[in-house]
Amino acid sequence: MAKGYGRPPMGRKGGGMGGGMGGLNMDMIKQAQKMQQEMEKLQAELQEKEYTATAGGGAVTATVTGKHVLTKLEIDPDAVDPDDVEMLQDMVIAAVNEANRNAATEMSENMGKITGGLNMPSF
């Protein structure tokens, strides 16, 4: 076997392109950092927004933040039927879930605009 076979030449650490960066160049790194900053800014903005949804033809209105925290719940007095509490409970659940879906959808759509369609985790 030849001396030094399979080893990088003296004075070099590892072979490959980009000085060990696996072919990544500085422009790509800067783009990724910029994308990350934009995503963090957008995420913070969207988490502060409020999202509202109704159920039961407007009998129940729920408002959540982008962090999926229920901040407001309005119930039309006409929707309160002591003989059918279950229906009111279902309307509350439906309104809260819809408001949360609205928040998640806006977050996903706006993140997709920044990432250009890269697969990102859902929030």
**Which H/E stretch holds residue 102?**
helix 85-115
pLDDT of the residue at 15: 46
Instruction: Please state the pTM of the whole predicted model.
Output: 0.64
Choose which CATH entry (3.30.1310.10, 3.40.47.10, 3.40.50.620, 1.20.150.20) describes domain 43-114. Answer: 3.30.1310.10
Tens digits of residue pLDDT in 39-93: 888 888 888 899 999 999 999 999 999 998 999 999 999 989 999 999 999 999 9
Distance in angstroms (rounded) separating the CA atoms of residues 108 and 21:
31
The secondary structure of 22-66 as a DSSP string is TT--HHHHHHHHHHHHHHHHHHHHHHHSEEEEEETTTTEEEEEET
pLDDT of the residue at 50: 94
